[in-house]
Amino acid sequence: MTQHDTKDKPWGGRFSEPTDAFVERFTASVAFDKRLYAQDIQGSIAHATMLSRVGVLTQAEFAQIREGLEAIRQDIEAGRFEWSQKLEDVHMNIEARLTDRIGLTGKKLHTGRSRNDQVATDIRLYLRDEAQVITGEIRRLLEGLAMLAEREADTIMPGFTHLQTAQPVTFGHHMLAWAEMLKRDFGRLQDCVARLNIMPLGAAALAGTTYPIDRSITCELLGFSAPAENSLDAVSDRDFAIEFCSFASVLLMHLSRFSEELILWTSAQFGFIDLPDRFCTGSSIMPQKKNPDVPELVRGKSGRVTGHLMSLLMLMKGQPLAYNKDNQEDKEPLFDTVDTVRDCLKAYADMVPAIQVRKEVMREAARRGFSTATDLADYLVARKGIPFRDAHEIVGKAVGLGVRTGRDLADMSLTDLQQFSPLITEDVFEVLTLEGSVKARNHIGGTAPNQVRAAAARLREWLAEHA
């Protein structure tokens, strides 16, 4: 027995033949869970600190363990650490190396602990760290949207329903719609972090431990809000990963919708905006092409994140209590979700402030699409006392004339309009202008430029409160 001798394994005691080489590869997770090394070491130092405070380790043993773990962290960060598949996962790799370095004392680190509560702790610490980075990126994107909203508070564009021109809105107002979605995503992430910030350590394999541990010490050292109440739940719960992927799926769904608009708006057919060249790529065959690859990829990547959410739900749904090896499958979907969310948010936070707006094109598009038809109906109701349904009918006929003669309502003469209602007078032209139309929607949540400026100011306040 040479290469796969189970005597090398931290759990090899009861085994009488080596692990099958394929099984060794099949069951190993180190290739991907080595990403958790920093949290694994952080958790181990906290655990050893606690063991020394309750008298399970001596001060000298603790000092040796801490120094050993810190040296290992430096080795890993300097690329000097050799990861071994034989040692299965990040936890056993680090523990085995610790014993290599400091001798027998290294073998005491795992007292009162199991890889089950260890890994549950590591992933929570990892996700808590990543959530902070992600929160910063959402904030950066929101700042870009606030800036655009302030800059383009007066910029008119057609608002759409059914992707048909509906009513004029301001570009700033449109950007603030995205900001609202992102604020909700921000809140969902915060909720997720509040629930994940519970400490599994002490649950050990599943039932707790016989050592006189003090979980409040580890809890405080690691910045968790409380120790997990139930040891069985502590080692088996992956709800927090599911919640995170659910947050991520909704966020990416939003960014995917945003992408869809940017892709449409940069097309020759819309021409509403330009994206700077640095966010686009060309075609190898069509020299004229400038493709919006970044938003397209974000739209595409939303699919894989939703897929990861499904993976985790399916991973958990059949598992009896407590820990099962199935749980090792939680990491790749989770890690890929984190990476994808970070990349997509970075792309958006960098790109959004650089959006170049083609005001004249958007204005012309709003003018062409009878976007002030509702304003004419409202004029007939509010100023002339016509019931709304009748007003709707009158305006519909006026639009019919416009379609037949290729004119917008604002291009018609008073006589033209009066054939549909003799009550229409010269003052109608104020409401038929695009500026008049948006300015009239002057209430909280409306598209009037002064309301957009006020909403952007409230967004700035929100950002200051959520710093």
Catalytic machinery residues: 162, 283
10 Å Cβ neighbour count for 444?
A: 8
Kindly state whether residue 317 participates in binding ligand ARG, applying the rule CB under 6 A. Answer: no
Instruction: Establish if 437 lies at the interface with ligand ARG (CB under 6 A).
Output: no
Stretch 89-108 residues interacting with ligand ARG (CB under 6 A): 89
Determine, following the binding rule CB under 6 A, whether residue 115 of this chain makes contact with ligand ARG.
yes
Per the listing, tokens 């996700």 go with 127
Between CA 437 and CA 377 the distance in angstroms is 12
Task: Look at residue 138 and give its three-state secondary structure.
Answer: helix
Please provide residue 80's backbone torsions phi and psi, each rounded to the nearest 5 degrees: -95, 0
Closest distance of CB 217 from ligand ARG, Å? 23
Q: Which is nearer to ligand ARG, 33 or 408 (CB)?
A: 33
Nearer to ligand ARG, 135 or 324 (CB): 324
SS3 81: coil
The interface with ligand ARG within residues 379-418 (CB under 6 A) comprises none
Please identify, using beta-carbon distances, which residue of 61 and 89 lies nearer to ligand ARG: 89
CA-to-CA separations, 464 to 184, 192, 279, 401, 461, in angstroms, rounded: 16, 21, 29, 52, 5
Q: Is 328 in the site for ligand ARG (CB under 6 A)?
A: yes
Peptide bond into 63 cis (omega under 30): no
Binding of residue 110 to ligand ARG (CB under 6 A): no
Name the residue among 97, 118, 101 with its Cα closest to residue 48: 118
Closest to ligand ARG by CB, 29 vs 167, is 29
Binding residue (CB under 6 A) for ligand ARG from 325, 413, 443, 465 = 325
- Minimum distance of ligand ARG from residue 104's CB (angstroms): 23
Quick one: tokens of 424? 């229409």
Distance between CA atoms of 82 and 38, rounded to whole angstroms? 16
* 427 DSSP 8-state letter: T
Selected range binding ligand ARG among 141-149, 253-261, 320-328, 365-373, rule: CB under 6 A: 320-328
Of 296, 201, 213, residue with least CA distance to 255: 296
CA distance 331 to 168: 47
Shortest spacing between CB 89 and ligand ARG, in angstroms: 4
Residues that bind ligand ARG (rule: CB under 6 A) add up to a total of 9
Nearest one of 179, 147, 172 to 448, comparing CA atoms = 172
Residue choice 327, 337, 421, 437 for contact with ligand ARG (CB under 6 A) = 327
Residues 27-46, mask of contacts with ligand ARG (x by CB under 6 A): --x---x-------------
- What minimum distance in Å lies between the beta carbon of 316 and ligand ARG? 13
Nearest residue to 102 (alpha-carbon basis) of 151, 63, 55: 63
Binder among 102, 109, 119, 312 for ligand ARG (CB under 6 A):
119
Instruction: Please report how close the Cβ of residue 236 comes to ligand ARG at its closest, in angstroms.
Output: 10
**Complex with ligand ARG: residue 34 or 188, whichever CB lies closer:** 34
Determine the Cα–Cα distance for residues 406 and 409; give it in Å rounded to an integer: 10
Interface segment toward ligand ARG; rule CB under 6 A; list 113-121, 188-196, 256-264, 341-349: 113-121
In Å, what is the CA distance from 31 to each residue of 35, 82, 119, 291?
Answer: 9, 11, 15, 36
Q: Exposed, middle or buried by CB within 10 Å (0-12, 13-18, 19+), for 287?
A: exposed
Question: Hey, what amino acid is at 375?
Answer: D
Task: Tell me how far, at minimum, the Cβ of 33 lies from ligand ARG, in Å.
Answer: 6
Q: Of the ranges 65-73, 112-120, 210-218, 262-270, which one interacts with ligand ARG (CB under 6 A)?
A: 112-120
Contact letters (x/-) for ligand ARG, 55-94, by CB under 6 A? Answer: ----------------------------------x-----
d(Cα 219, Cα 228) in Å, to the nearest integer?
10
Which CB, 40 or 61, lies closer to ligand ARG?
A: 40
Nearer to ligand ARG among residue 325 and residue 404 (C-beta): 325
Closest CB to ligand ARG among residues 9, 173: 9
Q: By the criterion CB under 6 A, which residues form the site for ligand ARG?
A: 29, 33, 89, 115-116, 119, 325, 327-328
